[in-house]
Amino acid sequence: MRRILVANRGEIARRVFRTARAMGIQTVAVYSEPDADAPFVRDADMAIALRGSTSAETYLDVDQILEAVRRSGADAVHPGYGFLSENPAFAEAVTAAGYTWIGPTPDSIRAMALKVEAKRLAAAAGVPLVPGAELPDGIDDGSVARLAEEVGYPLMVKASAGGGGKGMRIVESAPELADALASARREAQASFGDPTVFLERYLTRSRHVEVQVFGDMHGNVVHLGERECSIQRRHQKIVEESPSPGLASHLAQPMYDAAVSLASSIGYVGAGTVEFIVAGEGADQTFYFLEMNTRLQVEHPVTEMVTGIDLVEWQIRVARGEALPRSQDEIVPCGHAIEVRLYAEDPARGYLPNTGILHAFAVPQDVRVDSGVESGSEVSAYYDPMLAKIIAHAADRQTATQSLALALRGATVHGLITNRDSLVAILESGRFIVGDTTTAFLDEEPATLDAAVPGIVLDRHSVAVLAEATPTRDGVAPGWRNVPAVRELIGLERLGGDARVLAYQRSRDGVVAGVLDGEANPYADEPRDLGAIGVRTRGGTAFVTVGGVEAPCRISRYDDLICVDDPLWSTQWREQPRFADREAQAGARGPSTPVPGTVTLVEVTVGDRVTAGQTLVVLEAMKMEHRITADSDGVVTEVLVEPGQSVDAHAVVAVLEVAQETE
């Protein structure tokens, strides 16, 4: 094996390149049109362009990928995770063309690829299953309803051919079932090319615990301990750690044995993960089989950190026919590792993805960072909004938690709204600290989704923005006079936060300021007094004084965006225009798209009467489904989009004539 093509993109492509390079193996990247300038393309020894922009047109196009392998002269293919990594037909095509497939055999992938079939195999291996029901092709609505009652509510509709939270819907009661089925099937078809779904009991306040397994071509199968991945948004993991803080000691070995037994029963080769749901507490705790992922997991770094094993290196060695480098007795975990996924999204607004330019990106070097971006990268609407995985490893869980939280606080992330503050709030919450991390965590701790920046920090940072927006020369502000000046106003809008107006007044003794928050009237309401303010710069750092207290801040400007970072908090601001944008106001004629994406469904036609909250259009963006709804009762007078159409952010999808109130 001398040259590997990675049939993937972003962070995982860079991760594979890193290990391949260390092993003296050349690397090849493939890339779509939106990814032409992405860091992973430059990291490879050579790169092949794919025609198209969407996943279906590029990274899921088997013919294009195989042609790229041939043109590049690669002799092996690593699929990464997602895309074609668990597609048995792709694995077969790679091997049939004479290339080495760095992954499990097509038969093993096929055995576990469809969750329904995987559950049958797990049951045959004696692994307990969560109560559920299959939905055969052509099943009628009445039969589905009866099966759902037998499974019991709440239940989950799950795509059979995939993972990553796609094609999954929680159903609390019978009236929600039909819509959830349709939505899950639609998303499953778009993500995996297979609309098959099944029903499964939804176990509340459970834990999601998985076991990393590894097999070779000589019949050896080992486990590398467990990871807990219970904290999830939209059924997609955002915090992972090893070992699990809540797994009962009596359950660990039986779970390891079940995972190894299942992998052995299908002759498993390479890296895989057997996922379980763990219910109950203490002596009553038990586990059920969920699924097996026949690939490297996104969260594999936490296992690497606690075992000291490079899992990608093991994948390559096993694909070359070598035996596993270590036996089970030689795999000894050490310490605790925690990983968080940094996304370009706004948790406080339903995890709304954010696109645009990442002006600056840097994380303190005392943690591991696996990223697909760098300063200047563009985050598009075509792919998952994950920017990076940040991982801390320490001798104990408390130290790992604190190190990771501090690294997140000290990270520079300019230009996009991210879930950084939410991740810090999770890590610093009382429940996380004591290990109470069930799948209900985010539902029960909603404050972590909209982590509040302390008022004194907002005051200090807005003063820093004022200094940047109204610069001085030689320490003297424009318009200085030796008598008190009139009060001046500057409106500031914080990305992902509220707007405020800063009222300031210059005098011979300096500048005094006040703040009007929210909807306050800057011309009638009295501002909250901040007292004397000041900013002095030394060595590139601005020392900002508010109320007699000084603190260091870094101020960065990118056109109209001003970013402020102190040792513990970061905020991003734009100065609000003094006069309304008439053109923007004229464009706000109806419900619009929150992000760029592709219209997958239009549920109304001209003349339809709609009610507030009713779905008008379904948009697919960043591997998520977004529903554009009516904000009031009315009649549809225009429909401006159609299925398959690509739209920009803030594009109006329909025009409504608002219903007039009657007596």
Domain containing residue 485: CATH number: 3.30.700
Of the candidates 72, 111, 79, the residue with the CA atom closest to the CA atom of residue 266: 111
Q: Is 124 within the bounds of a domain?
A: no
Name every residue whose Cβ is closer than 8 Å to that of residue 555 and which is 6 or more positions away in sequence.
464, 465, 467, 468, 542, 562, 563, 564
The CATH number of the domain holding residue 635 is 2.40.50.100
Q: Decide which of 57, 85, 102 is a domain's last residue.
A: 102
Query: What is the structure's pLDDT at 105?
Result: 96
Helices (H) and strands (E) in the chain, counts: 17, 40
Q: Is 663 within the bounds of a domain?
A: no
168-198 pLDDT, tens digit per residue, is 899 999 999 999 999 899 888 877 788 889 9
Q: Is 119 within the bounds of a domain?
A: no
Instruction: Give residue 62's domain range.
Output: 3-102
Q: Is 243 within the bounds of a domain?
A: yes
Please check whether residues 436 and 511 belong to one and the same domain.
Answer: no
Please check whether residues 411 and 344 belong to one and the same domain.
Answer: yes
Query: What is the structure's pLDDT at 24?
Result: 98
Please check whether residues 241 and 346 belong to one and the same domain.
Answer: no
Query: What is the structure's pLDDT at 255?
Result: 96
Query: What is the structure's pLDDT at 619?
Result: 86
Cβ–Cβ < 8 Å for 651, 632: no
Please check whether residues 188 and 73 belong to one and the same domain.
Answer: no
Query: What is the structure's pLDDT at 476?
Result: 42
Q: Is 169 within the bounds of a domain?
A: yes
Please check whether residues 342 and 414 belong to one and the same domain.
Answer: yes
Name every residue whose Cβ is closer than 8 Å to that of residue 638 and which is 6 or more positions away in sequence.
590, 606, 654, 655
Cβ–Cβ < 8 Å for 32, 50: yes
Q: Decide which of 334, 355, 389 is a domain's last residue.
A: 334
Other CB atoms within 10 Å distance of the CB of residue 37: 11
Q: How many domains does the chain have?
A: 6
Beta strands, E only, 559-614: 561-565, 570-575, 597-602, 609-610
The 3-state DSSP class for residue 163 equals coil
Q: Decide which of 334, 354, 384 is a domain's last residue.
A: 334
Please check whether residues 172 and 267 belong to one and the same domain.
Answer: no
Please check whether residues 530 and 640 belong to one and the same domain.
Answer: no
pLDDT lower than 70: segments of the chain: 162-164, 471-485, 578-589, 623, 659-663
Burial track 79-114 (b if 16+ CB lie within 10 A, e otherwise): bbbbbbbbbbebbbbbeeeebbbbbbbbebbbbbbb
- φ and ψ at residue 249, rounded to 5 degrees: -60, -35
Please check whether residues 398 and 415 belong to one and the same domain.
Answer: yes
Please check whether residues 152 and 250 belong to one and the same domain.
Answer: no
Please check whether residues 593 and 551 belong to one and the same domain.
Answer: no
- What is the token pair recorded at 292? 């097996």
Please check whether residues 347 and 442 belong to one and the same domain.
Answer: yes
Query: What is the structure's pLDDT at 124?
Result: 87
Q: How distant is the alpha carbon of residue 24 from its chain centre?
A: 32
Q: Is 117 within the bounds of a domain?
A: no
Q: Hunting for tokens 């070359």 — which residue is that?
A: 320
Q: Is 221 within the bounds of a domain?
A: yes
363-392 pLDDT, tens digit per residue, is 988 999 999 999 999 999 888 899 999 999
How many whole angstroms separate alpha carbon 281 and alpha carbon 250?
A: 11
Q: Is 125 within the bounds of a domain?
A: no
| Distances, alpha carbon 120 to alpha carbons 117, 164, 201, 290, 592, in Å | 5, 21, 16, 11, 45
Name every residue whose Cβ is closer than 8 Å to that of residue 506 and which is 6 or more positions away in sequence.
477, 479, 480, 481, 484, 485, 488
The 3-state DSSP class for residue 564 equals strand
Its pTM stands at: 0.85
The CATH number of the domain holding residue 298 is 3.30.470.20
Please check whether residues 197 and 232 belong to one and the same domain.
Answer: no
Query: What is the structure's pLDDT at 583?
Result: 47
